[in-house]
Structure 1
Amino acid sequence: MSPVTILTLRTALVLSLLGSLAVQILVLPTIWNDLGALPTAWRVTVIVILALWLVCLQVVALCIWRLVSMAAADAVFSVGAFRFVDVVIAAIAVAAVLTGALATMLVPGSAAPGVVGIVYGAALATGGVALVVVVMRSLLRKAIEMRSELDEVV
C-alpha cells in the first residue's frame, strides 16, 4: 500500500472518529432536549440507539485503522486479520438492526411515511454493507490460502 493511501485512509478515520465524538458530545444532548415533549422512556431509547450506532461507527473505524496498519506492514494476509474483519461485520450488522429499530419507533409517531421508509431503506442498505464485508472476508480467506500454497511452492 502506498504511503499516500495509508495517510489518506488514516486521515479519514481520524476525522470520522472526531466527528462521531463531536456528535456524541454536542448533538445527542441537543436531540435529547428537542425530544422533551415525548415520554422519557422514548427519549432514552432514541438517544441510546443513536449513541450505540455511533459506537458501531467508532468500532469499525478502529478496526479499519488496525487493518490499514497490517496492510502497511504487509501482514494483512494473515489469520489475525479475520478478528478485525469479524468485528467490522458484527458492528455493521448491529448498526443495521439499530437503524431498523429507530425506523420502527418512528412508525406510530408523526414522522412522514416517506421518512420512515428512508430510515428502513438505510437499515436495509447497512445490512447490505455487512454482507459485502462478508464477501470480502471470504476473498481474504481465499487470498490467504493461495498465498500459503504459493509459499509452499517457492
Structure 2
Amino acid sequence: MNLTHQAVRLLRVLLVLLFVAAVVGQTLSWPGQFAHMASEEPALAALRWPLTAVAVLVLLAVEVVIVATWKLLTMVEADRIFSRDAFAWVDAIVWAVTGAWVLLLGACVALVATIYVTPELRDPGVPILLAGLVLVGGVVVLLMVVMRALLRQAASLRTDMDAVI
C-alpha cells in the first residue's frame, strides 16, 4: 500500500470524526449554548435564534465540504481526480465555503451594529474573533477558487496527454 492510500484512509477517519463533531455541534452544543446564553443574559435573548440559525447553517456547510471531500478522495483512489466529474464536487465545496463566509460576514456586521446600539455589549473580543474568522474565510474561499482553476488546468492537460498517448 502506497503513501497516498494510507493518507486517504487516515483522512477518511478524520473526516468521519469531524462530521460527527459537526452533527453534535449542530444539534446539541450550539443550540444549548445559545439557550443558556439567553437564560443567563436576558439582554442577549433576542440573539438566541439568529445565532442558532447561523451556527447550524455554517455547520451544514462544513458537512457539505466533508461529503464532497469524501467523494473527491474516492476519485483520487480510482485515479479519476482529473476528470470532469470532479468539478461538481469542487463546485460544491466552493459554494458551501462561500455560503458559510457570507453568513459569518453577516453575523459580524450584525454583531458590530448591535454593539454600537446596545451599551451592555462593549467587549471587543467577539467582534475581533468574528472579523478574524471572516478574514480566514475569505482566504479559504479565494484559495478554493484558485484550486478549482488548477484542477481545470490539470484536467485539460490530462485530456491532452491521453489524446497524445
TM-score, structure 2 as length reference: 0.86
How far residue 97 of structure 1 moved from its aligned partner, in angstroms, is 1.1
Contact 2:35–2:48 (8 Å) recurs in 1: no
Give the structure 1 partner of residue 87 of structure 2: 82
Residues 31-46 of structure 1: pairs in structure 2 closer than 5 A? 31-36=33-38, 37-38=42-43, 41-46=46-51
Query: Which of the residues 66, 73, 82 maps onto 1:68?
Result: 73
Structure 1 position 23 matched with structure 2 position 25? yes
> Judging changes above 3 Å, is the alpha-carbon distance between structure 1 residues 9 and 141 closer, same or farther for their aligned structure 2 residues?
same
How far residue 73 of structure 1 moved from its aligned partner, in angstroms, is 0.7
- The gaps in structure 2 that reach 5 residues or longer are 116-120
- The gaps in structure 1 that reach 5 residues or longer are none
Query: Which of the residues 88, 91, 97 maps onto 2:102?
Result: 97
Give the structure 1 partner of residue 154 of structure 2: 143
Aligned length: 154
Query: In terms of mean alpha carbon deviation, does 26-35 or 84-93 score higher?
Result: 26-35
Q: Percent identity?
A: 32
How far residue 98 of structure 1 moved from its aligned partner, in angstroms, is 1.1
TM-score, structure 1 as length reference: 0.92
Give the structure 1 partner of residue 135 of structure 2: 124
How far residue 111 of structure 1 moved from its aligned partner, in angstroms, is 5.2
Which residue identity is paired with 1:33?
A
**Counterparts of 1:117 and 1:89, CA distance in 2:** 25
Measured on the aligned residues, the alpha-carbon RMSD in Å equals 1.6
Query: Which of the residues 3, 11, 14 maps onto 1:12?
Result: 14
**Counterparts of 1:113 and 1:40, CA distance in 2:** 19
How far residue 12 of structure 1 moved from its aligned partner, in angstroms, is 1.2
| Larger of the two Rg values belongs to structure | 2
Contact 1:96–1:124 (8 Å) recurs in 2: no
Query: Which of the residues 29, 44, 61 maps onto 1:56?
Result: 61
